[in-house]
Amino acid sequence: MSYSLAQLQSILGGEIRGNGDKPLCGVAALAEAEAGQLSFAVGAKNLAAAAACRAGGLIVNPALAGQLDRDLLVVANPHAAFARAAALFHPEPPLRAGIHPAAAVDPSASVAADAEVGAHAVIGARSRIGAGSRIGAGCVVGDDVEIGRACRLFGNVTLYPGCRLGDRVTLHSGSVIGSDGFGLAWEGDAWIKVPQVGRVVIGDDVEIGANTTVDRGALNDTVIETGVKIDNLVQIAHNCHIGAHTAIAGCAGIAGSARIGQRCLIGGAAMIVGHIDICDGVTVSGGSFISKSIRQPGVYTSTQLQMPHEEWLKNAAQSRHLAEMRERIRALEKKLQDKE
């Protein structure tokens, strides 16, 4: 598969600088790119690397283009254009329509004629698989599940009964969608399980990473809106609502009934407590602990900088006396005011 910069321009837009006719046969990072490959660069910090790299073509922004004597495709957003170019050089494998002989499909299920169901996959009763969707080997699709068009479930994905997937949803291996939420009621000297009777409803163009879990709602549905991107090893508890085009990085944990707005960025290992609201346009830094609702867009951080362990122990010991110190300071301030 090869494309010239001119061919890429016809697909991606932008402006050609230099020779646009040389064939390019792949993509690579600046430092590793060879003469027949395409790379990209953004910002002054990458100027030296872009000038020195061996790539046969570069995608750059206008600010960088004037400083480079290279064969360039100049676009407003090089990162996005490079992502689209990379997809052209590495297209999805062709769809193999049909149901593998080793798959188990309930007679009441509906599988589109051009959908693909891999070996040892299980499709439950009354479930529907949309046109052009791929169900990977070993996947388990429970009863009454709806999967839209052009979805892709990699191997060993589990969809519990009643889940709904929109169009072009990607679920990576080991993800579990619709498992029971952690609903318990204390009675006497034991826990009683609260039945989890809601669903998980996922919009269009959502991608969920490997070994991520999304719990079904207790009564209402857990909702993942259109365009949400979720990394590996993320836990989303029951009744959460994740707004459109929000991105959640790996190892984040979101407790039950939290509502996260649209176009939010949740950093890796962030912890968000349940029953709070986060408005649109919020960035939560990696490792932060969010315990209260956020009403204004912006960047929020709650981490403590690393320090030697002995220093941390001293600071932790002092923190236990903060309330006492506050009262002493107030008392001293009052004495000073009385003297005045």
pLDDT tens string 54-69 = 999 999 999 999 999 9
| pLDDT band (50, 70, 90) for residue 305 | confident
The per-residue pLDDT for 306 is 86
Please check whether residues 75 and 111 belong to one and the same domain: no
Please check whether residues 173 and 319 belong to one and the same domain: no
Instruction: Give the mean model confidence (pLDDT) for residues 297-323.
Output: 90
Q: Which of 260, 244, 249 is nearest to 209 (CA)?
A: 249
Please check whether residues 107 and 246 belong to one and the same domain: yes
Q: What is the CATH number of the domain that holds 77?
A: 3.40.1390.10
By the 8 A CB rule, do 149 and 166 touch?
A: no
By the 8 A CB rule, do 284 and 260 touch?
A: no
H-type helices in the chain, by residue range?
A: 5-12, 47-52, 62-65, 78-89, 309-319, 322-339
- 173-206: pLDDT as tens digits: 999 999 999 999 999 999 999 999 999 999 999 9
The per-residue pLDDT for 320 is 87
Residues pairing with 176 in the sheet: 158, 213
By the 8 A CB rule, do 246 and 266 touch?
A: yes
- 287-304: pLDDT as tens digits: 999 999 999 999 999 987
Q: Is the pLDDT of residue 338 over 90?
A: no
Q: Is the pLDDT of residue 235 over 90?
A: yes
Query: If you search the block for the tokens 């490792």, which residue do you land on?
Result: 287
What range does the domain containing 316 cover? Answer: 309-339
Please check whether residues 199 and 177 belong to one and the same domain: yes
- Report d(CA 268, CA 248) in Å as an integer: 7
Q: Which of 301, 215, 216, 211 is nearest to 265 (CA)?
A: 301
By the 8 A CB rule, do 180 and 222 touch?
A: no
- Report d(CA 142, CA 289) in Å as an integer: 35
Please check whether residues 225 and 187 belong to one and the same domain: yes
CA 102 to each of CA 45, 115, 155, 322: distance values in angstroms, whole numbers, following the listed order: 53, 16, 14, 65
Instruction: Give the mean model confidence (pLDDT) for residues 273-281.
Output: 98
Please check whether residues 24 and 105 belong to one and the same domain: no
The per-residue pLDDT for 43 is 87
Most confidently predicted of 42-56, 259-273, 302-316: 259-273
Please check whether residues 109 and 231 belong to one and the same domain: yes
100 is catalytic: no
The per-residue pLDDT for 153 is 98
Residues 90, 100, 120, 238: which is the catalytic one?
238
The per-residue pLDDT for 1 is 81
Provide the residue count of the chain: 340
Q: Is the pLDDT of residue 169 over 80?
A: yes
Q: Which residues contact residue 180 at a Cβ distance below 8 angstroms, ignoring those fewer than 6 apart?
A: 196, 215, 216, 238
Examine the fold and report which residue of 89, 113, 131 is the final residue of a domain before the chain moves on: 89
Please check whether residues 82 and 128 belong to one and the same domain: no
The per-residue pLDDT for 20 is 95
Structural domains counted in the chain: 3
Q: Which two tokens stand for residue 89?
A: 């050089």
The per-residue pLDDT for 316 is 86
Please check whether residues 109 and 223 belong to one and the same domain: yes
Examine the fold and report which residue of 89, 123, 155 is the final residue of a domain before the chain moves on: 89
- Report d(CA 42, CA 309) in Å as an integer: 39
Instruction: Give the mean model confidence (pLDDT) for residues 13-21.
Output: 96
- Report d(CA 70, CA 73) in Å as an integer: 10
- Report d(CA 3, CA 251) in Å as an integer: 38
Query: If you search the block for the tokens 């990394």, which residue do you land on?
Result: 231
Q: Which residues contact residue 322 at a Cβ distance below 8 angstroms, ignoring those fewer than 6 apart?
A: none
Please check whether residues 233 and 118 belong to one and the same domain: yes
Please check whether residues 53 and 152 belong to one and the same domain: no
| pLDDT band (50, 70, 90) for residue 319 | confident
Examine the fold and report which residue of 89, 107, 128 is the final residue of a domain before the chain moves on: 89
Please check whether residues 211 and 180 belong to one and the same domain: yes
- 79-134: pLDDT as tens digits: 999 999 999 999 999 999 999 999 999 999 999 999 999 999 999 999 999 999 99
- Report d(CA 168, CA 4) in Å as an integer: 29
Q: What is the CATH number of the domain that holds 176?
A: 2.160.10.10
